[in-house]
Amino acid sequence: MYALPNLVILVNGAAEGETELTAFDNALRKAGIGDLNLIRVSSIVPPGARVSPMPKIPRGSLTPAAYAKAVSSCPGQRIAACVGAGITPEGGVLMEASGACSAAELEERVRRMVEEAMHARGFLEYDLHLASAEHVVERVGSAVAAAVLWHDGATDERDVSKGGGK
Confirm whether 158 is domain-assigned: no
pLDDT tens across 70-107, in order? 999 999 999 999 999 999 999 999 999 999 999 999 99
- Give the side-chain half-sphere CA count within 13 A for 68: 28
Using pLDDT thresholds of 50, 70 and 90, give the confidence band for residue 153: confident
Confirm whether 161 is domain-assigned: no
Confirm whether 19 is domain-assigned: yes
Confirm whether 159 is domain-assigned: no
* CATH of residue 21: 3.50.20.10
- The helix (H) or strand (E) run that includes residue 105 is helix 103-120
- DSSP string computed for 69-134: EEEE-STT-EEEEEEEEEEETTEEEEEEEEESS-HHHHHHHHHHHHHHHHHHTT--S-EEEEEEEE
By annotation, the residues acting in catalysis are 37, 42-43, 96
Amino acid identity of residue 128, one-letter, is: L
142-163 mean pLDDT: 73
What is the number of domains present in the chain?
1
Is 159's pLDDT higher than 50? Answer: no
pLDDT tens across 10-51, in order? 999 999 999 999 999 999 999 999 999 999 999 999 999 999
3-state DSSP call for residue 23? helix
The whole domain housing 125 covers 7-153
